[in-house]
Amino acid sequence: MRRIVMLVLIAAAALAAEPARPAEEPVTFGDQISRVLQAHCQTCHRPEGGAPFSLLTYQDAYLWRQQIHVATQARRMPPWKPVAGHGDFAEVRRLSDTDLALIARWVKAGAPEGDPARLPPPRTFPPTWTLGQPGLVLEMDEAYTVAAGAGDVYRCFTLPTRYSYDLYLSAVEVIPGNKKIVHHVLTYLDTTGASLALDRADPGPGYTCFGGPGFAATGGLGGWAPGAPPLVMPSDVGVFLPAGARVVAQVHYNNRSERAETDRTRIGLHFIRQPVDKRLRVVPVLNRGFVIPAGAARHEVRASWTVPLAWNLHTIGIAPHMHLLGREMKVTATYPDGTVRPLIYIDDWDFNWQGAYTFARPIPLPGGTRIDVQAIYDNSADNPRQPNRPPRPVGWGEGTTDEMCIAFLRVTVDSERLGARPR
């Protein structure tokens, strides 16, 4: 009897401690999960999206349910590197806590399909050129073949534009030719013909390159990575394309399959039709004079740049750049009155997911503002991405086994009024 009283008391105490929760609404694919996948996964997880498998149907989602649970809980998917609270970006790829909880409850409940009649209409995706047919399409002369099982291959292709006058671009869209092997693409402008000499010195289409194009580029035209939007300028800003410039596409291929694969990547240029006020400028805030000691697990490298007093700038985007040893990068703006504004913080750098990030709104950088870059490198033998076995001291360079420390700021000059006429 005493035991029964005790048990009743314990049960009552437990009930008191945990008030009865309202029964949770069941989570099904038809009702909620299809909508989460449409909104946050299908830009990449569809046949033409660049991810290795689709998440379009219930069968897809059911098959991948455990991996979906693990990858979303770990915030590995959707891929989005900037830490929340450091910088305010356009097109943020982050699941809300609500969506994260929905996925967890759905998988725990056995990933039920629910009522197919409740499915939303399928999401439609734009055709190949999401911005419409470009004014000029640059394409590799011949397809490049990546051998079966080649793994990572970094190759630069030099593409002539052949205009005898300067032009401005409103947008650039890069379309990989073969998404099975194209991992990402970066572009550079060559106004000296240096890339042609590099191409001629290397047999086969293009030439080998890793951390840059192998020459001092005068700018870039954005790039491609799965799910990344094309480079689009604000309405009064143009990307300068000097007469006779070559566009160099650096393509990171990855072929683990047992078949050779070929690629012809294309770059679509959209020319500006209305007068352009401002030219997009890229400021590399960098440090070239560092050495990361062999074995150092957390080595800090800093770089700074101060906006000259005579200039007032706005920054519209930022692209951190390091190689394989990079682990973290934090960039801040310190205003003349001492206020510090975070621009970006990446706490889990991955060379394979380097992005160019556009700010939600242009950020003012008045004259005298100091930009500080703080980068952390892991040059220990324990770093799984360590390219040197055993580790050796590492400094600046373009090779796989060298490092870089750069934050590229995309800026405009407030007082600039070009008034350039369209062609």
User: Which residues are at the interface with ligand HEC (CB under 6 A)?
Assistant: 40-41, 43-45, 50-52, 64, 67-68, 71-72, 76-79, 93, 95, 226-227
Taking the least distance from each CB to ligand HEC, the nearer of 214 and 226 is 226
Taking the least distance from each CB to ligand HEC, the nearer of 30 and 244 is 30
| 388 backbone dihedrals φ, ψ, rounded to 5° | -110, 120
Shortest distance (Å) from residue 26 CB to ligand HEC: 20
Q: Which residue is nearest to ligand HEC (CB)?
A: 227
Taking the least distance from each CB to ligand HEC, the nearer of 335 and 353 is 353
Taking the least distance from each CB to ligand HEC, the nearer of 207 and 349 is 349
Taking the least distance from each CB to ligand HEC, the nearer of 13 and 92 is 92
Closest CA to 322 of 369, 271, 280, 375: 375
Shortest distance (Å) from residue 95 CB to ligand HEC: 6
Shortest distance (Å) from residue 107 CB to ligand HEC: 11
Taking the least distance from each CB to ligand HEC, the nearer of 183 and 299 is 183
Handedness of CA 299, 305, 306, 311 (dihedral sign): negative
Shortest distance (Å) from residue 51 CB to ligand HEC: 4
Shortest distance (Å) from residue 218 CB to ligand HEC: 29
Any idea which residue has 């997009």 for tokens?
280
Give yes or no for a contact between 194 and 225, defined as CB atoms under 8 angstroms apart: no
Shortest distance (Å) from residue 44 CB to ligand HEC: 3
Shortest distance (Å) from residue 259 CB to ligand HEC: 19
Shortest distance (Å) from residue 78 CB to ligand HEC: 4
Taking the least distance from each CB to ligand HEC, the nearer of 94 and 264 is 94
- β-strand partners of 137: 268
Taking the least distance from each CB to ligand HEC, the nearer of 60 and 378 is 60
Closest CA to 410 of 216, 238, 249, 166: 238
Residue 189: both structure tokens together: 């402008």
What is the SS3 assignment for 101-149? Answer: HHHHHHHHCCCCCCCHHHCCCCCCCCCCCCCCCCCEEEECCCCEEECCC
**What distance in Å separates the CA atoms of residue 168 and residue 191, rounded to the nearest whole number?**
15
Tally of residues, the chain:
423
Give yes or no for a contact between 404 and 323, defined as CB atoms under 8 angstroms apart: yes
**What distance in Å separates the CA atoms of residue 116 and residue 232, rounded to the nearest whole number?**
38
**What distance in Å separates the CA atoms of residue 3 and residue 11, rounded to the nearest whole number?**
12
Please, how many CA atoms are within 13 Å of residue 86, restricted to the half-sphere of its CB?
Answer: 15
**What distance in Å separates the CA atoms of residue 44 and residue 357, rounded to the nearest whole number?**
18
Shortest distance (Å) from residue 415 CB to ligand HEC: 37
Mind giving me the DSSP string for 266-328?
EEEEEE--S-B-EE-EEEEEE----EE-TT-SSEEEEEEEE--TT--EEEEEEEEE--SSEEE
Taking the least distance from each CB to ligand HEC, the nearer of 45 and 266 is 45
Shortest distance (Å) from residue 45 CB to ligand HEC: 6
Taking the least distance from each CB to ligand HEC, the nearer of 13 and 101 is 101
9-12: long-range pairs with CB below 8 Å, 24+: none
